[in-house]
Structure 1
Amino acid sequence: MSALPTPAREAPETRTPAVIRWLVLATFIVILNETVMINAIPRLMADFGVTARSAQWLSTAFMLTMAAVIPTTGWFLQRVSTRTAFATAMGVFASGTLLATLAPTFEVLLAARIVQAGGTAVMMPLLMTTLMTVVPEHDRGRVMGNVTLAISVAPALGPAVSGVLLQLGSWRLIFAVVLPIALAVMVFGMSRLENVGEPQPGAIDWTSVVLAAFGFGGLVYGLSQFGTGDLSTPLLIVGFGVAAIVTFVLRQLRLQRSGTPLLDLRTLTHTIYRRSLLLMSVAFMAMLGSMILLPLYLQDLRGLSPLETGLLVMPGGLAMGLLGPQVGRVFDRLGGRPLVVPGSIGIMVSLVVLTQVSLTTPYAVLLGAHMLLMVSLAGLFTPVFTLGLGAVPMHLYSHASSLLGTLQQVAAAFGTALVVTVMSSRAAQLAGSGADGAEAMLGGLRWAFWVGAALSLVVVVLALRLPGRLPVAVEESEPEPEPCEDLAA
């Protein structure tokens, strides 16, 4: 049997391992860039003379690259050392950031965003895999709470950060500020990081790489095209993506018997992991859908600037990050149910409140609803991440992390496509019935928020099925697969 990572034997209960602290900081920096371009679109349209749809590709291409690359990280992280993976991810990300800072044309800036995303795609699976390896089970909740800062708060703060920087100067400032921070994290991180475990030999299956890229990338791209008017092309692309993913899955199942799979799907034989994966996916749909809708409402209907919009949603993101470690400590003491069930109900309540928005809704109500949403998500994410990844054996951690990251991208794209399509369709229907532009858009937004509320009801049901703690310790050796009778549960 190939060498397995060796867990830390004496990880202090009250102190996060240094390797995790550096990986959390690096992950925060790179994930922040996933949403940082949202507020810069109008400025880029003017500077480069491109349409809104073309400028939106700076975010779409980033998400597409993430969806295509993350499935390969399970294989990659088992083949290289921790230091090599960290240096590769940060080096690629820093190169893309430098290219973006100096980009003379829109095409170069788009290429730079793709390079940035290639480095970002490695960081979250690397962080999750290392955490599950070096942190003992009894302390994982607290440490996972710190990780929430990187994987959940960074996307929420991206628009606020870019709004402040755009107020101060050119869009290039967004990248110019991030570049020295990324380089400093890479240099200091490499001087302090230690390797965790030993790399395992194994050749890569390039057919699987191509299928993953076309499958997950095609699915995310197709979903991102909904709401643009024509439905036939997005449906065709989504169908192509689904067909490629089915072929990818069948190939992984065959490689699990005769070779080295790119993404080991034996993670899905563990019931708690499956349920956690489904719960996280639906929660991300609801979260990303609201992140798209609320700025549209605040800017297009209430007349707020991008900076004002960013400042209004910033308290929720900050509260989410500050509560992460406290949520982790509660999880270590009491288990997941006292957090997951109230958190799922809080998500539903906040989205129901947002279905009642009007042209005169007090900003205090909007701030309160958004804060409740973010705090509830903080109570949900940490326990679900910890329970889900803890349910698989150690040698599958990297594959479980990769699958989780991949489905987050797909869920984000699906959630965005769903709410935008519902909003656009309802607004067009109301406009055709004689409603003015503002009333039509408001009606569309309300329906879209109801979609988020419906998704949150699914989150509540799934939360009630998740256990408070892992029933038994997962053995380090190859486990007997659990029955898959509730794969769709």
Structure 2
Amino acid sequence: MIQAAGAGIIMPLMMSVVMFIFPADKRGSAMGLIGLAMIFAPAIAPTLSGFVIEYVSWRWLFIGLIPLVGVVILLAYKFLINVSEGSEAKLDVVSVILSTVSFGLILYGFSHAGGHGWDDTLVLISVIVGISVLVLFTMRQIRASDPFLDVRVFQNKTFTMTSLINIIVTMMLYADMILLPIYLQDGRGFTALDAGLLLLPGALVNAFLSPITGKMYDRYGARPLFIIGLIFVIPSMWAVTDLTEATTYTFLMVRTIFLRIGLSFITMPLNTAGLNALPKELITHGTAVNNTVRQIAGAVGTAVVVTIYTAQSTDYTSQLASQGVTEKVRELASIFASCQSYYFMMVLAIIALVITLFTPLKSSVPLEGEEGVH
């Protein structure tokens, strides 16, 4: 929770700084460069963590971060400066409590749904109470003269629609990062390091394409990039709906590269398009909402795909048992369940494409001092 509190400050702040120091026509390139850093680190993480787990100890996943954090603190102290005017704001303690309880319970419920099932009492209570408290939180923000989180950002149709696409894309990304290693390790017997190495090339391609797609956003806008990206993503999901025991490691690696190429056309341009549509005074609230949306979407995507995987695996295991199959039951069930889960993700990608076609992505960028929604 302490680590999450730090990340909750840093990630939205980074986006806000970019939006403040770059003009609207350069933000795509700037966000693309930021994307290189944001994507490169997770790109090498699965491979590095697989190596650490296999040859050292899982404890070093955390111990190894300590010197990195120390370096970051020193660099921040030396180079970071304030880029915007400060303002006196009274902390709404009630809103802090409501947001913490609501988002915390929702994330807890969805995170545990994958392992315990949706009929688990604790899961249902967590999600229902979390949503109820979230409604109270939202009503308080609407009525407040100085809201803790300004939900007026959702009055902007472009921001709202890009947030929906953001939810779907994040769900697919997190689900794929969970599902593919499960298939490789449970269904095929590969090691954690093997799974990490398979994900590495695609993630690196994604990272190094990010600055390029950022410049393309500045030149061509968001819609063409989203469509191109989803044209890559949808076949990449379809390609793994028919996995077998003979599916080659190379095929999966190439498929993952194509998926990551598609995501590079979507991820950072998506954030830029949504924030560019907001007036300047709402950008900080927009970045906070974006960060929250990604966290919840990641938890929801993981929970839903694991639930589908678990249910399909259990049903297929029962079918094999009724047919008298006793060899490699777990492996066969894992492969079948993975295929069914990827069908769900392919449908999500198609939905994202439909939303893209109806999103007003060509609205003008609000200038400082401009009012309202475009």
Which residue of the partner structure matches residue 411 of structure 1?
Answer: 297
> What do the CA deviations read for 1:268-300 (whole angstroms, capped 9, x no partner)?
111111111111111111111111100000111
CA shift, 1:153, in A, is: 4.3
Decide which of 445, 449, 464 is 2:357's aligned counterpart: 464
Decide which of 226, 229, 232 is 1:340's aligned counterpart: 226
Superposed, 1:62-73 pairs within 5 Å as none
Which residue of the partner structure matches residue 47 of structure 1?
Answer: none
Residue 367 of structure 2 aligns with an amino acid whose one-letter code is: E
Which residue of the partner structure matches residue 201 of structure 1?
Answer: 88
> What do the CA deviations read for 1:147-180 (whole angstroms, capped 9, x no partner)?
2234444334322221223345233322333221
Instruction: Supply the distance in 2 between the matched residues of 1:152 and 1:247 (Cα, whole angstroms).
Output: 35
Instruction: Supply the distance in 2 between the matched residues of 1:351 and 1:153 (Cα, whole angstroms).
Output: 22
Decide which of 439, 442, 460 is 2:332's aligned counterpart: 439
Instruction: Supply the distance in 2 between the matched residues of 1:324 and 1:225 (Cα, whole angstroms).
Output: 33
Instruction: Supply the distance in 1 between the matched residues of 2:132 and 2:41 (Cα, whole angstroms).
Output: 33
Structure 2 residue 147 is the aligned partner of structure 1 residue 251: no
Which residue of the partner structure matches residue 245 of structure 2?
Answer: 359
Instruction: Supply the distance in 2 between the matched residues of 1:201 and 1:295 (Cα, whole angstroms).
Output: 48
Structure 2 residue 367 is the aligned partner of structure 1 residue 475: yes
Residue 334 of structure 2 aligns with an amino acid whose one-letter code is: M
Structure 2 residue 344 is the aligned partner of structure 1 residue 451: yes
Decide which of 404, 409, 421 is 2:307's aligned counterpart: 421
Over 3 Å counting, the alpha-carbon distance change for 1:221 and 1:156 in structure 2 is farther
Over 3 Å counting, the alpha-carbon distance change for 1:156 and 1:449 in structure 2 is farther
Which residue of the partner structure matches residue 178 of structure 1?
Answer: 65
Instruction: Supply the distance in 2 between the matched residues of 1:150 and 1:425 (Cα, whole angstroms).
Output: 37
CA shift, 1:398, in A, is: 1.0
Superposed, 1:13-24 pairs within 5 Å as none
Residue 276 of structure 1 aligns with an amino acid whose one-letter code is: T
CA shift, 1:454, in A, is: 0.8
Structure 2 residue 170 is the aligned partner of structure 1 residue 277: no
Decide which of 115, 124, 128 is 2:2's aligned counterpart: 115
Residue 446 of structure 1 aligns with an amino acid whose one-letter code is: C
Residue 473 of structure 1 aligns with an amino acid whose one-letter code is: V
Residue 454 of structure 1 aligns with an amino acid whose one-letter code is: V
Which residue of the partner structure matches residue 487 of structure 1?
Answer: none
Superposed, 1:126-165 pairs within 5 Å as 126-165=13-52
**When the two structures are superposed, what TM-score results if normalisation uses the length of structure 2?**
0.93
Q: Is the 8 A contact 1:336 1:467 kept in 2?
A: no
Higher relative CO (Cα under 8 Å, sequence separation at least 6) belongs to 2
Secondary structure of the residue aligned to 1:472 is coil
Over 3 Å counting, the alpha-carbon distance change for 1:206 and 1:428 in structure 2 is same
Q: Is the 8 A contact 1:281 1:408 kept in 2?
A: yes
CA shift, 1:205, in A, is: 1.0
Instruction: Supply the distance in 2 between the matched residues of 1:345 and 1:317 (Cα, whole angstroms).
Output: 18
Q: Is the 8 A contact 2:92 2:148 kept in 1?
A: yes
Structure 2 residue 133 is the aligned partner of structure 1 residue 240: no
**When the two structures are superposed, what TM-score results if normalisation uses the length of structure 1?**
0.72
Instruction: Supply the distance in 1 between the matched residues of 2:92 and 2:47 (Cα, whole angstroms).
Output: 41
Decide which of 99, 102, 106 is 1:219's aligned counterpart: 106
Q: Mind listing any 5+ residue stretches in structure 1 that lack a counterpart? A: 1-113, 483-489
CA shift, 1:481, in A, is: 4.4
Q: Is the 8 A contact 2:188 2:331 kept in 1?
A: no
| Number of positions where the alignment pairs a residue of Structure 1 with one of Structure 2 | 365
Q: Mind listing any 5+ residue stretches in structure 2 that lack a counterpart? A: 322-328
Secondary structure of the residue aligned to 1:347 is helix
Q: Is the 8 A contact 1:344 1:463 kept in 2?
A: no
Runs (4+) off by over 6 Å: none
> What do the CA deviations read for 1:380-416 (whole angstroms, capped 9, x no partner)?
1122111110110111111100001101111111111
Decide which of 164, 182, 187 is 1:301's aligned counterpart: 187
